[in-house]
Amino acid sequence: MNKLRKFIIGALLTIALIGIGTKVANKKEEYKQPTKEVSLDNPQEQLDKAYQISKPSNITEIIYDPEFNETDRYIRGKMRNYFPEEDILKAIQNARKVSPGHNMGVQGIFRYMGDGEKRPVFARKELLTSPNVMTIEDIASATDHEDVHAGEERYGLDFYDHRKKGEEFLTLLKSGKIRTEMMLAIGELGAHAYQLNKIQRGERKTSRQLKEHVERWFVYLKGMVETEKAQGILQPVEQEFYEAKRKRYDSVFKKL
Ligand SMILES: [Zn+2]
């Protein structure tokens, strides 16, 4: 990410935070202030409970992996027969880098995108210590979010009426028709929208903290994509991916 881009994103985030703050204050929604129910005692037990509540379609299990040992093992197992050691080490390092702000994660490997298989999710210590994750239901909501990522890894990127699998994604990437960063941002926007849709419909009763946290990220990501769209920087395939998310989560886009 270059400096200008970082600055633009930073500025957008500030605007988004201010915007949401006012909106929420005006509404004066009645949310119970839950006491922190999630803790570092028996992490795996809490993750299993959240999994049972969320009932994700595309996740095999949530694995507590504070030191990345399980993630490393997973990457190595998947890449071993196809990639040189150098690439495997790079992927292992990247797995640590790409997840700031993500306390749970699905490990994406292009080669496997669209293979039809469910994915494991790896959870970090910060998930349990985060001030935005108060209850088991909050972890279930984060699981809803990861279920979208796992679904896109399983079936390919969701373009509403079709899916784009790993090979097509790589071809588009190499030809410069999509940018990894923007595709990731739009994928995130979709995962946040799905998560919010469940909260807004009352299917997931999260803490106020988590709801506001997810709303802030949604508004921020949407603002980022909309800005590029307005500036004419957004590539046609990226715009198509964005429109697919708008169509699928129409009511969330209308509310925020
Ligand atoms: Zn995500």
The pLDDT-based confidence of 53 (bands split at 50, 70, 90) is: very high
The pLDDT-based confidence of 99 (bands split at 50, 70, 90) is: low
Ligand 1: distance of its center to the CA of 111 in Å? 20
Question: Average pLDDT, stretch 56-69?
Answer: 97
Look at phi and psi of residue 138 and say left if phi exceeds 0, alpha if psi is from -120 to 50, else beta: alpha
Helix (H) or strand (E) holding 22: helix 3-27
Q: What is the pLDDT of residue 97?
A: 82
Whether the per-residue pLDDT at 39 is higher than 50: the answer is yes
Distance of CA 43 to the CA centre of its chain: 21
Structure tokens at 118: 């469910």
Question: Average pLDDT, stretch 46-73?
Answer: 97
Q: What is the pLDDT of residue 32?
A: 58
Find the DSSP H helices in 156-235.
166-174, 180-200, 208-230
Structure tokens at 234: 């957004």
Structure tokens at 171: 């071809």
**Which position has the token pair 């395939």?**
237
Ligand 1: distance of its center to the CA of 191 in Å? 6
Ligand 1: distance of its center to the CA of 146 in Å? 6
Ligand 1: distance of its center to the CA of 233 in Å? 23
Structure tokens at 198: 């469940």
Ligand 1: distance of its center to the CA of 147 in Å? 9
Ligand 1: distance of its center to the CA of 62 in Å? 15
